[in-house]
């Protein structure tokens, strides 16, 4: 049986790097679109004041969409990191081949297994931030 080398601790780093690149790119593209749409629905023009509600909704929607778009790369990263080295060739070598392997053997839904919990956690985080903001605004003395 083959033993793991020191580099086994870095398995999945390439998948994480690609996920971060895609995540940041999509976030910078989606947030302004979501923000302008939320401003239009709130009746605020682009040069108008800051509306926390529209900013909150738009950032939450953008985070959810970006997280769901990059979730398959998180699945690949996890599978790469948890794969045990055996005598045979590892199944999860590269990001692209790992995505194809998972899709062909386990089906497309396997790439989103566990995504519901990500959506729940992002929603709870957003609610906590919104609650903290409203509390701090209410506690601030008027001048």
Backbone dihedral angles phi then psi of residue 55, each to the nearest 5 degrees:
-65, -40
Mean pLDDT of the region 45-66: 71
Band (pLDDT 50/70/90 cuts) for residue 5 is low
The answer to whether residue 41 scores a pLDDT higher than 80 is no
**What pLDDT digit, counting tens, does each position of 60-119 carry?**
888 888 888 999 999 988 888 887 766 567 778 788 888 999 999 999 999 999 899 988
Q: Judge if pTM exceeds 0.75.
A: no
What pLDDT score does 20 carry?
Answer: 86
What pLDDT score does 1 carry?
Answer: 43
Residues 6+ apart with CB under 8 A from 36: 46
């Amino acid at each position: 049986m083959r033993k793991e080398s020191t580099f086994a601790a870095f398995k999945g780093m390439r998948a994480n790097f690609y996920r971060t690149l895609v995540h940041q790119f999509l976030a910078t593209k989606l947030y302004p679109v979501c923000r302008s749409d939320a401003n239009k629905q709130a009746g605020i023009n682009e040069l108008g004041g800051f509306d926390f509600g529209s900013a909150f909704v738009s950032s939450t929607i953008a985070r959810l969409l970006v997280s769901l778009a990059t979730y398959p790369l998180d699945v690949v990263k996890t599978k790469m990191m948890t794969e045990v080295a055996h005598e045979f060739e590892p199944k999860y070598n590269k990001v692209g081949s790992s995505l194809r392997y998972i899709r062909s053997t386990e089906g497309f839904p396997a790439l989103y297994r566990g995504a519901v919990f990500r959506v729940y956690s992002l929603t709870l985080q957003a609610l906590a931030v919104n609650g903290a903001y409203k509390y701090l605004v209410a506690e601030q003395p008027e001048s």
